[in-house]
Structure 1
Amino acid sequence: MIKAWFKSGSPWVWLNAAAVSTNLILVLGLLILIAVRGLGHFWPADIVEYHYQDQSGKSVIIGELVDTSLMSANRAREAGHQVLNDVDYLEQRLIKTGNRDLTGMDFRWIQAQYIQQASYPDELIVIERREWGNFYGRLLAIKENGRVIAEGGKAYTVIQQRIDRALELYDEIEHLQKNEVGAINYAMERLRLEQRRLELEGLWTEAAKRDFAAQKAEYDREYRVLQQQIAELNQKARRDSLVAAAANDRQIEIPLENVVRLIQPNAMSAGEKAIEYVIKFAEFVSEDPREANTEGGIFPAIFGTVMMVMLMAVIVTPFGVIAAVYLREYATQGFVTRIIRIAVNNLAGVPSIVYGVFGLGFFVYMLGGNIDRLFYPEAAPAPVFGTPGLLWASLTLALLTLPVVIVSTEEGLSRIPKSIREGSLALGATKAETLWRTVLPMASPAMMTGLILAVARAAGEVAPLMLVGVVKLAPTLPLDGNFPYLHLDRKFMHLGFHIYDVGFQSPNVEAARPLVYATSLLLVMVIIGLNMFAIGIRNHLREKYRALEG
């Protein structure tokens, strides 16, 4: 009976189903873990105030409870802690105390046995700052030009209006510096390069000097006007400040131009916390990073990832399809063709870092260096394309994913019945017309499958990108309002590298850990979004040509 059951193949079907189910459960569990750890970071946590007394004396600790763990009594004694009760394990708590400018650290481990009192006063505040991380404490007063204008409970009623004003001024200053001043600096650099080109070509005449001097004078005038506007806005932004008391009654004055938000989590309702949660998550997705990538948002990394993947798809699809068409439709099916197919399949197994080294040596140094010598001699010795950038990263990943597209397209071409080709040729179409109007459209779902696999792999690659264009922090996006608008020579940020940098290179590991989860979740969402877009196109094409395949 059992022998017959094994011969029927049913055990292998059930084994395969169990393996697939286990993998799906593991993947789903991993995604849930990433989502919980990452998305939970944006929820406004309650602030606790501990009255604490250990061997060093009494103190007050204010902050967020981040984690708890157990330490064995023996290890606690070795660490110098006094075990007050006859227990085997001691509870210790990780508190995010913030106030790094006062204490030199953001997090602190404390022993639960030394806590005398724990409370959650409504007046405790959290100030998210542009520098030095969060501040935890109590709001004492608001100052305008160094003069106190509100104290105590009255300060809470006017502080938000002052912060909103400071944020508006900051956004206006940021816009002028990044867009207006950035455009002038870009135009000045292009003017300098054009002058250098004319000098190299012997065309730097007196008329050209006058024209360039007039343009430069106009740029200088616009620059001075913008600098004056920025100086006035900075003066307005520095008008207001707040006075706050940290733990142990240490007072500090914080300029409002350095404040991103001020909230009282203990006094907020669930609805107010939900609104604050949405706002913080939206800022995380739409703003630039700050504080060594441990604060702020990750929009440049999202933008760079999507831009690189789109360029890679535009490059790899035609080359992969052309190679597959040649191998399947035109090449003689012999020994050489079989060797080429084996080589293509083997390329899919080459470690990605090898492609990065090849891209750095061939694309950046050889191809980019020659482009600079031929077309950008005026920029020397500074490289234009002879340095890692968006174009070379996209080409490197296109080369890495090329075997996937070739194999997928070949499989699609092989599934098209021979009768379709013969019928087209019998009606008078040439082989090229048959290929272009009949065969390739019917094989397009297979091409899209290859592209989906290529996008999924390229979006998550990190190792080769570290060599050919990805950086920790890019000052500008590859796409802006300056001609030629898409700057393929610029370096860019990437979600995968951002995860590596925040998780392994951050000076503040505890603060960076939630961001690693949140960024990982966004990377998965970006990959899923790109794949769903490609899958939608593939399904549309499959339905369109289903009748012909039948």
Structure 2
Amino acid sequence: MANIADEIAAAMPKTLVAQDTRGVGAYVRSGAPYVWVTAAAIAFAFIITLSLLILTATRGLPHFWPADLVQGRYQATGEEAVPLLVEIRSTEEVTSERLKGAGMQITDDKPLHERLLVKVANRDVYGADFRYLLSDWFVERSTPESAGVFERVEWGNFHGFLEGVEENGTRVADASKAWDAFDERLDRADDLRGQIRDIEKGEISSINYALEQLRLDERRLQLKGRTRENAAADYAEIDDQRKHEQASYEKLRVELDKLKQELARDTLVIKTVDGNEVKLPLAKVLDGYRPNDMGVFAKTIFFFRKLGEFVSEDPREANTEGGIFPAIFGTVMMVIIMSIVVMPFGVLAALYLREYAKQGFVTQAIRIAVNNLAGVPSIVYGMFGLGFFVYFVGAAIDRAFYAESLPAPTFGTPGILWSSLTLALLTLPVVIVATEEGLARIPRSVREASLALGATKAETLWRVVLPMASPAMMTGLILAIARAAGEVAPLMLVGVVKLAPSLPLDGDTPFVHLERKFMHLGFHIYDVGFQSPNVEAARPLVYATAFLLVLVILALNLSAISIRNRLRERYKALEA
């Protein structure tokens, strides 16, 4: 091969070789290598993002797959055998020295041992959901098809064998027909729970809200100096409305008590792996299934059903059970309010700096200040939002418009409005810079042509310049959404909470309650990951919530990108 290359080089004209040498420098100067470097950087960023999605998905989504129940005996050295019925969550190799350091009596000479992380459930019996077991000591394993998992409202899951179903203390189904009876009564219990939830969170919540408004109306009259003697008609109207609401509440309370009695009718008789029978009220059971008796198709359906419940339900058990719908709702609503606030102010500021302000030292200093604001730590914005929006603006609003509620604050306390305004300040520099860059790219000839046709400067900006700059404005919004949706530190000071019993949007007048606190996906990840007492149960939920947060941010960004692309296609001819 070397000889052939030498012959070809010898046969080539000397001038051609010189041209080839000069061509390398010309190729570098042409900028083509930088295009490849940029493409490689983009590909690397894409791979990193995709890897992040795959990591969070593979660590979080298996939590919703029904794992098989393994029955066996666990017998440590020098101890009695303990029967167990567990889900094997993960395995790892551990050195003998580490196990001996943990107090285990290792008698063999193997350098490595397999350790299992298992979910034993039955927290009220064992005291903890998860436990580490040495694989060699977990013997006589089997996967009985009759073993069941029962998801409870409290205390996590319960593992056992369904032996029967009781109705008002009378056995109505034995072990052979227990699951059919359980499925039938579970549907009834779910329907009753839905009715109870609608009454408690719907009608009774509305009545409580109305009673609170009547109390505030009465307090408002008192602050105005109007007593029952000189404002008898107003007080009489309030009393009549209060009596009406209380009468409605009494009817609902009677109906609610009746539904709860019906829900408490059935009881499950479950035998644990050690042979003891436990009676579990069906009112405390949300779901039940036999994972060892399910095929792949049945498990797939179960997986998507649990994933849907995770997205649509409220959290339970210190956020380690249930769903995350309030956090999704709060995140999206906060981003929408933030976008509504930041876009007008960002566009107007950029418009003034580019089109109206006299270019000089002051304008340049303002631009430098705006660019520097983008690098300020987010927690500083949170402290500013707490001090200015909450304690100053909110307190002033309470004194001016909600004096009847004092000393309990209405707007003078952290809430979703102040969180949205704080993030609007946080992302304002991004929108200003992106919009100003878009305005700078519009040819001067376009402005001059509009003015020559008789349009005023304001009409030119409104009808010509801003529409052409709209793709850049949308780019600023995309960057603002990407940053704001994942921020957590400032929100901890100005509105986010661990659990919000009421959403900021409901059916009570005025329907949108901007003063309420809210849940956020980013803070939910922090709370579940670092504040949960049940670490092993929380770990997969952290990954699942992180995966969902990335999807929410992608959905918001893709929506904005779609609008930007349409605007770009619409005004491409004008830019050309």
Q: TM-score range by the shorter chain?
A: over 0.9
CA distance in 2, matches of 1:331, 1:258: 67
Which residue number corresponds to residue 242 of structure 1?
268
Deviation at 1:417, TM superposition (A): 0.4
Which residue number corresponds to residue 139 of structure 1?
162
CA distance in 1, matches of 2:105, 2:225: 83
2:554 is the alignment partner of 1:528: yes
- Residue-by-residue CA offset, 1:44-84 (whole Å, 9 max, x unaligned): 11111122211321111111101111221122223232324
For 1:247, what is the secondary structure of its paired residue?
Answer: coil
- Residue-by-residue CA offset, 1:250-309 (whole Å, 9 max, x unaligned): 322111111111000000111111111111111111111111100001000000000000
1:180 to 203, 222, 236: 203
- Give TM-score, length-normalised by structure 2: 0.94
Which residues in structure 2 correspond to 1:124-273 (within 5 Å)?
124-204=147-227, 205-273=231-299
* CA 12–445 in structure 1, closer or farther in 2 if over 3 Å, else same: closer
Which residue number corresponds to residue 281 of structure 1?
307
- Give TM-score, length-normalised by structure 1: 0.98
Which residue number corresponds to residue 381 of structure 2?
355
CA distance in 1, matches of 2:35, 2:431: 30
2:57 is the alignment partner of 1:35: yes
For 1:475, what is the secondary structure of its paired residue?
Answer: coil
* CA 11–447 in structure 1, closer or farther in 2 if over 3 Å, else same: closer
Which residue number corresponds to residue 417 of structure 1?
443
CA distance in 2, matches of 1:77, 1:130: 39
1:518 to 541, 544, 548: 544
Which residue number corresponds to residue 46 of structure 2?
24
CA distance in 2, matches of 1:107, 1:52: 15
For 2:399, what is the secondary structure of its paired residue?
Answer: helix
Contact 1:84-1:113 at 8 Å conserved across structures = no
CA distance in 2, matches of 1:488, 1:101: 40
* CA 147–297 in structure 1, closer or farther in 2 if over 3 Å, else same: same
CA distance in 2, matches of 1:157, 1:242: 12
CA distance in 2, matches of 1:424, 1:85: 89
For 1:118, what is the secondary structure of its paired residue?
Answer: strand
2:140 to 108, 112, 117: 117
For 1:57, what is the secondary structure of its paired residue?
Answer: coil
CA distance in 2, matches of 1:446, 1:18: 25
Deviation at 1:14, TM superposition (A): 4.2
Counterpart amino acid of residue 74 in structure 2? Y
Structure 1 gap segments, 5+ residues each: none
For 1:172, what is the secondary structure of its paired residue?
Answer: helix
Structure 2 gap segments, 5+ residues each: 1-20
Q: RMSD of aligned C-alpha atoms?
A: 1.4
Q: Which moved more, 1:16-25 or 1:437-446?
A: 16-25
Q: Which moved more, 1:97-106 or 1:49-58?
A: 49-58
CA distance in 1, matches of 2:542, 2:447: 52
Counterpart amino acid of residue 192 in structure 1? R
Identity, % of aligned pairs? Answer: 59
1:337 to 363, 380, 389: 363
Deviation at 1:312, TM superposition (A): 0.3
- Residue-by-residue CA offset, 1:291-341 (whole Å, 9 max, x unaligned): 110000100000000000000000000000000000000000000000000
Contact 1:474-1:491 at 8 Å conserved across structures = yes
CA distance in 1, matches of 2:524, 2:372: 30
CA distance in 2, matches of 1:321, 1:10: 36
Deviation at 1:126, TM superposition (A): 0.4
- Residue-by-residue CA offset, 1:354-385 (whole Å, 9 max, x unaligned): 00000000000000000000111000100000
For 1:406, what is the secondary structure of its paired residue?
Answer: helix
- Residue-by-residue CA offset, 1:497-538 (whole Å, 9 max, x unaligned): 101100111110100111111111111111111111111111
Larger radius of gyration: 2
For 2:177, what is the secondary structure of its paired residue?
Answer: helix
CA distance in 2, matches of 1:390, 1:439: 34
Contact 1:444-1:541 at 8 Å conserved across structures = yes
Counterpart amino acid of residue 523 in structure 1? L
CA distance in 1, matches of 2:197, 2:381: 38
CA distance in 2, matches of 1:115, 1:491: 48
For 2:504, what is the secondary structure of its paired residue?
Answer: coil
CA distance in 2, matches of 1:377, 1:446: 44
Count of residues paired in the alignment? 550
Deviation at 1:15, TM superposition (A): 4.1
Which residue number corresponds to residue 372 of structure 1?
398
Counterpart amino acid of residue 237 in structure 2? D
Deviation at 1:230, TM superposition (A): 0.3
Deviation at 1:22, TM superposition (A): 2.6
Q: Which moved more, 1:47-56 or 1:465-474?
A: 47-56
2:101 is the alignment partner of 1:78: yes
Deviation at 1:213, TM superposition (A): 1.3
Q: Which moved more, 1:70-79 or 1:270-279?
A: 70-79
